[in-house]
Structure 1
Amino acid sequence: MTDTKTTADDLREYYLDLIKRSLTGALAEDNDSILGGVRMQGAKSMKKRAANAVAKAAGRLDLEISYKKPYDPAARESGQDWPARAESMIGLKRMTNIQDCIAAVIKDGVPGDLIETGVWRGGATIFMKANLKAWGDTTRKVWVADSFEGLPAPDSSRYPADSGDELYTQTGLAVGLETVKNNFRRYDVLDDHVEFLVGWFKDTLPVAPLGDLALMRLDGDMYESTIQAIEVLYPKLSPGGFCIIDDFGSHASQAGQAIHDYRKQHGITEEIVQIDEFGAYWRKTF
């Protein structure tokens, strides 16, 4: 006779698997192309600008114009597409990396809070909080740091690696604070242990009342956003904690180079582990 008893570990896995598939749009196979949606906002081409204008007019009538596109599970696994409606675009592998890192710091008793710098619709930080909830951890905070206005225009004089970057023109990357808070509420994970840091990293991170960190996840794409975050946060990362870089591979000449420069300057030698083609992490040992 087979023992089919469901354990607490099983329930935790089921819950977190469902949450991450919902947050990434994998559960609903979200791959609609929406007229005027996040993929088009801020586009310079006349065709896409016209599409945005039509979508805006339709929106005034509470209408949405979209068409179905084939869902690619492999692309969603590695976060190489951009879901129209989901709360996260990082894909399942990078979500699972968050899950594994949190499990490790809890099991090993690594002290500190969790933070992400650059949150878009809040998906990764919602998942962080869901993981803490699943483990019954009521002491750690999740810090949600973002301008909530998109990315900054490049400061090429100080950060030449960002020269010519046009991410600041992609208004689909700008998601307001109240929208992100509401996404937390929808997943029932918004409480007084979720803290929002609103503004550019150079202004908010140096003065934020942060203590020890067990996990830091940097998703700023640019050299400027990445170096400003790691300079403040890495000294607060506890031994045994994890440093995750979402854009290490996808923006190798910007976010990736900022990481290499910081590690070289501070003699950091822990192995960088690739998660997928875009993201990477390492575990701090000292």
Structure 2
Amino acid sequence: MERILANVIYEDAPVGWYGDLDGYDRASRSAGRDLPTTAHTMVGTKRLKNVRSCVEQVLRDGVPGDLVETGVWRGGVCILMRAVLEAYGVRDRCVWVADSFEGVPVAHSGSHPLDQEMALHRINQVLSVPRAEVAENFSRYGLLDDQVRFLEGWFADTLPHAPAGPLAVVRLDGDLYESTTDALTHLYPRLSPGGFVIIDDYDIEPCRKAVEEYRDRHGIDEPVQDIDGHGVYWRRAEHG
């Protein structure tokens, strides 16, 4: 599944992200450093392996709760989460697919300064993937069922009242300061002890600052572990 989701099987060429690349490059795809034309995820195989490892660990340890990703693009990571549940015959957990399906919020004069500086909304034509397309991608793997729940809308609107929880794995891929803060504020309190937080965009300044400030405010001192120089994760302490 990891290899198929990242399309290292057919090696689709990137369309440009960190600069022009001369066709498919295995190292770039593994590290999630290109923008695939057809693959269902851009996070790369290293971060996919991290997702699988975290989900398998909470299943082994009996950590209660569902799985959620905020910011899903074409849905590849959530498809992998659902595939792990299927492989282990788990029927009492859901995968929550949280996205605006319109790209990222437009940074305006009232937005956090780092979000204004980044102005990621300028590439929403790349980041925006319709909900119907994401659902169809689940269907292609035979994994679209009632264990897949969609949360459509901006995080500030959907997450406060989302019926998700408790949670065992929370993966954040919202890039921006405000998107990351919204996700942590509304989802971290629902994370079970022993559950995992995965931050896809920790090397991006707005995201990293949001994580650091949230951890400082709430006295979170579990060590942040690097995945691939881009994403990081930590495990919530068993005592809370």
Equivalent-residue separation in structure 2 for 1:81 and 1:225 (angstroms) = 22
Give 1:239's aligned residue: 193
RMSD: 1.4
Q: Is the 8 A contact 2:14 2:34 kept in 1?
A: no
Equivalent-residue separation in structure 1 for 2:101 and 2:131 (angstroms) = 6
**Structure 2 gap ranges (5+):** none
**Structure 1 gap ranges (5+):** 1-18, 34-38, 41-67
Give 1:121's aligned residue: 74
Counterpart code for 2:27:
A
Matched, 1:278 2:236: no
Equivalent-residue separation in structure 1 for 2:145 and 2:109 (angstroms) = 39
Alignment of 1:105-254 (within 5 A): 105-170=58-123, 171-249=125-203, 251=204, 253-254=205-206
Give 1:86's aligned residue: 39
| Secondary structure in 1 matching 2:168 | strand
Equivalent-residue separation in structure 2 for 1:212 and 1:93 (angstroms) = 27
Q: Is the 8 A contact 1:75 1:81 kept in 2?
A: yes
Counterpart code for 1:278:
H
| Secondary structure in 2 matching 1:228 | helix
Equivalent-residue separation in structure 1 for 2:11 and 2:208 (angstroms) = 30
Shift of 1:155: 4.2
Counterpart code for 2:2:
K
* Count of paired positions: 234
Q: Is the 8 A contact 2:14 2:35 kept in 1?
A: no
TM-score w.r.t. length of structure 2: 0.94
Matched, 1:104 2:86: no
Alignment of 1:262-277 (within 5 A): 262-277=214-229
Shift of 1:118: 0.2
Equivalent-residue separation in structure 2 for 1:211 and 1:243 (angstroms) = 14
* 1:185-244 alpha-carbon deviations (Å, 9 max, x no partner): 001111001000000000000011122000000000000110001000000000000000
Shift of 1:74: 1.1
In our comparison, the structure showing a higher alpha carbon Rg is 1
Shift of 1:156: 4.6
CA distance 1:156–1:281, change in 2 (3 Å): farther
Equivalent-residue separation in structure 2 for 1:143 and 1:202 (angstroms) = 16
Q: Is the 8 A contact 1:218 1:229 kept in 2?
A: yes
Equivalent-residue separation in structure 1 for 2:86 and 2:108 (angstroms) = 39
Equivalent-residue separation in structure 2 for 1:32 and 1:219 (angstroms) = 20
Q: Is the 8 A contact 1:156 1:162 kept in 2?
A: no
Shift of 1:271: 0.3
Equivalent-residue separation in structure 1 for 2:119 and 2:91 (angstroms) = 40
Equivalent-residue separation in structure 2 for 1:88 and 1:166 (angstroms) = 22
- Report sequence identity in percent: 50
Equivalent-residue separation in structure 1 for 2:59 and 2:92 (angstroms) = 11
Give 1:29's aligned residue: 11
Equivalent-residue separation in structure 1 for 2:72 and 2:127 (angstroms) = 9
